[in-house]
Amino acid sequence: MALIVGVHGIAQQQLGRHQLAGAWGPSLADGVEAALSGERVAEVPFDLAYYGRLFLEATGSSTTGSKAGTSEDELAGISLDEVDELVAAAKEAAGAEALQTGQEQAAKGYTRVPHGLQVVFRALDWRYGPGAALLFAGAFRQVRRYLRDAGLKAAIDAVVDEAVTERCRVLIGHSLGSVVAFEFVRRNPARRLDLLLTVGSPLGARFVRALMPDPNHGAEGLPQGVEAWVNVRDPRDPVAFAGDLSRRWAQVRDVTVDNGGDAHSASRYLGKRQTGAALLAALPELAR
């Protein structure tokens, strides 16, 4: 039974629990060692709530599981309603300057996506770097499906409920996993956690909050049962574009990091000194 439970992010449907845990565990240990200035630590007591394969089983779900989160070919077949929602979300993420640049750029790239997406995709790539648009679209689509498909949400929530035993003291959510982790906290107000740790989180985004059952749960400070909440983000991460979560939850401690050329990477987030320091504050025994 693990003291730490992680909830993974988007586009993991082609992998499995052991593969992902094999990346998360060492990354967490690296973060703790970095916070201890290189002092060696034992293996971090960690388990992963793996739900990715449920997206393969869901009707009409994405099947690529690519690093980018989705593909141009998949986007070619989405509904007009989803296109409209994705355009609105992408505009929020890109901002006015990037949108103006996207409109002025020559119409190249993303030729296989609906026309309405092409300008906002160019804008996202201009602001966050090549590939940001497909990563953002992948996050948008799976967050949207989790929050809109009641059957899928119930199945994912059940996976997390099983993983988060009474021994768990720290719950970590990356990307979509931060939304799932927040929903666990909301659904289980009597469950005590020493730390809720979110990394690369879209919880502050307007389109996410519009779909959440209760986006203001715990907004006056922290959700009930959560002793501390640390949010780690890279300012160049398009999924975490909405910025500091303390704007929504008054007692969240926001921390920024630099993940280099792979801003949304779970391993890079988890291996950071700042992430390790948050874990040590909640679980000082990790240093022994």
Same domain? 213 vs 236: yes
Range of the domain at 88: 72-147
Is residue 261, in this structure, part of any structural domain at all?
A: yes
Q: Distance between CA atoms of 255 and 31, rounded to whole angstroms?
A: 14
Among the listed residues 106, 108, 110, the one whose alpha carbon sits nearest the alpha carbon of residue 71: 110
Q: Which residues contact 104 (CB under 8 A, 6 or more apart)?
A: none
Count structural domains, the chain. 2
pLDDT tens for residues 27-36?
Answer: 999 999 999 9
Where are the alpha helices (H) located in the chain, listed in sequence order? Answer: 17-35, 53-57, 72-75, 80-94, 96-104, 115-128, 132-148, 150-163, 176-187, 206-211, 266-270, 273-282
Q: Phi and psi of 265, rounded to 5°?
A: -60, 125
pLDDT tens for residues 119-178?
Answer: 999 999 999 999 999 999 999 999 999 999 999 999 999 999 999 999 999 999 999 999
pLDDT at 58 over 90: no
Same domain? 139 vs 153: no
pLDDT tens for residues 2-25?
Answer: 799 999 999 888 888 999 999 999
pLDDT tens for residues 87-103?
Answer: 999 999 999 999 888 77
pLDDT tens for residues 228-238?
Answer: 999 999 999 99
DSSP secondary structure letters along 122-140: HHHHHHH-TTHHHHHHHHH
Q: Distance between CA atoms of 139 and 55, rounded to whole angstroms?
A: 13
- Percentage of the chain exceeding pLDDT 90: 76
- Percentage of the chain exceeding pLDDT 70: 94
Structural Rg of the chain based on CA atoms: 18
pLDDT at 63 over 60: no
pLDDT at 67 over 70: no
Q: Distance between CA atoms of 53 and 105, rounded to whole angstroms?
A: 38
Please name every residue paired with 48 in a beta bridge, in sequence order, or none if there are none: 6
* Final residue of a structural domain among 122, 147, 172: 147
Tokens of 248: 């929504």
Supply the mean pLDDT for the chain.
91
How would you classify the pairing of strands 229-233 and 195-199? parallel
Residue-level pLDDT at 106: 59
* Final residue of a structural domain among 147, 181, 214: 147
pLDDT at 205 over 90: yes
Inter-residue contact 28 to 44 (CB < 8 Å): yes
Residue-level pLDDT at 50: 96
Same domain? 51 vs 116: no
